[in-house]
Structure 1
């Protein structure tokens, strides 16, 4: 992605964001891409190139804690209500009244919160890997893990406890090759052993376990990931986990009215059949209950589907975006 196409904005709460911006055909909806952990807007490079060629205007921010955007240490700054307001500030700066928003990983819950807090600013919502998550108001980690284990037979989020410990950022830096292999494994099934089991991720890194890295991690991509982890650090980014386990997200979401949770606008979910951490059966439980206009597509990939199968993801998104455009014109 061309660095000359990046802009900077200081949001209303005085946080600097860096974001990719590309202008296209005004008759086509603007596409807003929201990445997750541990990533930057660079994760959307295949989608940006594809949809730019189709004439869409595109916005892809480095989210709070990543890339060229500020990386504050204070966990409270990562509350979803605040980050949603930041995103709206970016849309306002680009004079975008309505957009189609696409989120992956932790970007998906942020998209879910945009749906309940700023629904009027969007035409449709797409969720990759993680389903529609509009509120953490009643979320308790231990209770949730017990419930999920009963549903799917194992705890998918065992690594969360390690990710909120002090010093995790430094452990990831000190064991870079191990970190890259665990985050982007050649075999997605290794996550069931290395991430899902409580304590396994920390033990693997401290033992400097070397896991074969996925083929989409080219030398250029590896350098980008190295710079992100070693030069920029993940201390800020790990706050996306801390805000949940600290209870700050639950407190923040208590004010969301229950009537805002059902989502009547077009929704797309794309899941990876080999994603152990976010299996579609888990991701779709809320989506099928609350999304009345839901399209579902499952691909034979792991968690990083937009990187593993960019052509399939792009075509799926394109077909869905075209249906959204048609509905918007009715």
Structure 2
């Protein structure tokens, strides 16, 4: 009996040590690429929180400003593969990390809201004097773009005007959105808190990999960089709070779907069809609901992150659409 008790005690102590080390394991260092990304950015104060953003003025061929808005659970770094061609074609590129993401502050016990994220974008664009922007938004930020469109349509946009909007795979229609298993778990009141605390690189990689196409998975370096940006400032601890956007989309469906149905702002969609979050019925529904729908569908096998899975095709389609809208006069690609 004593042997069993001693063995059990040793096991419990060992388990406690392993758990303590596991949950307090230090975040990975910045890679050279991430270090360069961070060093070339700036921070804005928003109600006491620091919001990271990149604001690049380039020698682009066309005098327009593109605002890049990222998805969940990643950051503005998602755009790094399309930036070279984008810089050649536009004069200014702005890429913020929304509150709770990337290199921005990630307050715990905070009520994250699409309205607040939209307020942050308005404040940023006023601060840096960017009165007219062309929005390219993905996933989570598709809803931020919809809210900004609703504000412009209602005459309540404060920074100037949205010239065009292009959306990449995102939950435009709440009824078609399919949250992944990990997202549903993280949303649970108690279990979600425990799971977020236990999340590590391997759990993150497993959960994110399922939304990419089988043959267009991120590289090992990309996974590490994405995890580093989530791990920064203990961001993995707030992922459940950030997922409040799923319920928020349903509550505000009339406002946000209405914004894209008005046909008041030039709108385009670039869609990866192998997306389990917004599965193929999405494209059909989009064409049915959006008047004179403008949509480019990527090759089979491209999933939820088109800008990372097929960056050359995404930037080609985006720039050619801007040219058709007469927003730009020429398209320049790296040869």
1:157 has 2:179 as partner = yes
| Aligned equivalent of 1:176, options 183, 195, 201 | 201
SS in 2 for 1:275: coil
Give the direction of change, closer, same or farther, for the CA distance of 1:181–1:118 in structure 2 (3 Å limit).
same
CA contact (8 A) 1:79 1:249 kept: no
1:6 has 2:28 as partner = no
Structure 1 match to 2:242:
240
Structure 2 match to 1:88:
122
Q: Which ranges in structure 2 are unaligned for 5 or more consecutive residues?
A: 1-35, 154-159, 330-335
TM-score, normalised with respect to structure 2: 0.72
1:297 has 2:297 as partner = yes
In structure 2, C-alpha distance between the alignment counterparts of 1:255 and 1:314, rounded to whole Å: 29
Structure 1 match to 2:136:
102
1:117 has 2:141 as partner = no
Structure 1 match to 2:96:
61
Give the direction of change, closer, same or farther, for the CA distance of 1:227–1:113 in structure 2 (3 Å limit).
same
Structure 2 match to 1:70:
105
What aligned pairs does 1:175-254 form with structure 2 within 5 A after superposition?
175-185=200-210, 188=213, 215-219=217-221, 221-231=222-232, 232-245=234-247
Deviations 1:257-295 (A, max 9, x none): 968852322111111121122124225625642444623
SS in 1 for 2:270: strand
Q: Which ranges in structure 1 are unaligned for 5 or more consecutive residues?
A: 134-138, 149-154, 190-212
CA contact (8 A) 2:142 2:172 kept: yes
SS in 2 for 1:65: coil
Distance apart, 1:255 and its partner CA:
7.7
Deviations 1:201-223 (A, max 9, x none): xxxxxxxxxxxx9643232x232
In structure 1, C-alpha distance between the alignment counterparts of 2:227 and 2:281, rounded to whole Å: 33
Paired residues in the alignment total 282
Larger Rg: 2
